[in-house]
Amino acid sequence: MTKFDSLYQDMLRRIMQEGVADKNKRTGHEVRAIPGMHFSIDIEKEGFPLLTLRKIPVKMFVAEQIWFISGARKPADFLRDYTKIWDNFTNPADVVTVAYGYRWRKHFGRDQLALLIDLLKKDPSSRHGVIVTWDPGSDGLGGTKRANVPCPYSFTVNIIGGRLHLHNIVRSNDMVLGFPSDVAGFALLQCILAQKLGVGVGTYSHSISNAHVYDNQYDAVRELLKRENTHALIKIALPKNVFDRAQKKDKKLVDEIVTPIAAQYEPLPAIIGLQIVL
């Protein structure tokens, strides 16, 4: 199996064997959870972290990252042509108030992504490459009620040894539905930033404060733990100028990124009936 498939099974197994089961007040579901779960994978040496134990919609996370990079916050602005995943989190004006890309590029009065690129071009040794999504003025702590608050709430980018490394910090991860797409999406962002900065791609790290499985996913997890796939490593081959084209919401870009990934991707069948717990 790929390194990421093995890591994923290890995390699921640990949650099912060691996780604490408790009822979640907001959703009404039993949740089995572990605090402080972490993994790292070297994308250059160990392959792109795209789950092959079940089929993950590649076009969805690719389009989502392009939408993020553009700084948009309305799904109708590019994203809805490819996925409706954010439609559950819009307000009556069809705005996702916590859209990650909008937070990165506009919400705090500074373009964090542009500043990150400028900083690391001038000083590749800088350790100040921190991007924040969480707004302490309104998110969480019993503050403004919203359909969603950021799960991946901050990430740090470092260039070490001529390669770009990304550490993603996540407050809460649904390990069956949210986690695989989050990992693939942010690993793609890492590859895009590395291309923009003209450096290699290094280690993707993912730290979760609350890693959990819902009770309506237990059977799916048991199935995933039984599966094996002799899949080769997936390598990313990006077209030119992805970051700049993403800022312009270039629709041709989605297929140009997806096609070489899809040519390598041979996942096991989808697990039918999985539902997002909102």
Looking at the domain assignment, is residue 102 inside a domain? no
Q: 143 lies in which domain range?
A: 3-57+111-238
Mean pLDDT estimate for the chain: 95
Write down the pTM of the prediction: 0.96
Residue 107: CB atoms within 10 Å: 19
pLDDT by residue (tens digit) across 1-38?
Answer: 999 999 999 999 999 999 999 988 888 889 999 999 99
The sign of the torsion formed by the CA atoms of 50, 55, 56, 62 equals positive
Predicted pLDDT at 121: 98
**What value does the mean pLDDT take over residues 174-187?**
97
pLDDT by residue (tens digit) across 193-249?
Answer: 999 999 999 999 999 999 999 999 999 999 999 999 999 999 999 999 999 999 999
Looking at the domain assignment, is residue 204 inside a domain? yes
Tell me: pLDDT of 46 over 90: yes
Looking at the domain assignment, is residue 79 inside a domain? no
Tell me which residues are annotated as active site. Answer: 151
Decide: 124 and 159 in contact? Cβ < 8 Å.
yes
Decide: 212 and 175 in contact? Cβ < 8 Å.
yes
Looking at the domain assignment, is residue 249 inside a domain? no
pLDDT by residue (tens digit) across 47-98?
Answer: 999 999 999 999 999 999 999 999 999 999 999 999 999 998 999 999 999 9
Total number of domains in the chain: 1
What confidence category does residue 148 fall into, taking pLDDT thresholds of 50, 70 and 90?
A: confident
Tell me: pLDDT of 278 over 70: no
* Alpha-helical regions (H) of 167-217: 178-197
**CATH number for the domain that contains residue 125:** 3.30.572.10
Looking at the domain assignment, is residue 263 inside a domain? no
User: Which helix H or strand E contains 22, and what residues bound it?
Assistant: strand 20-23
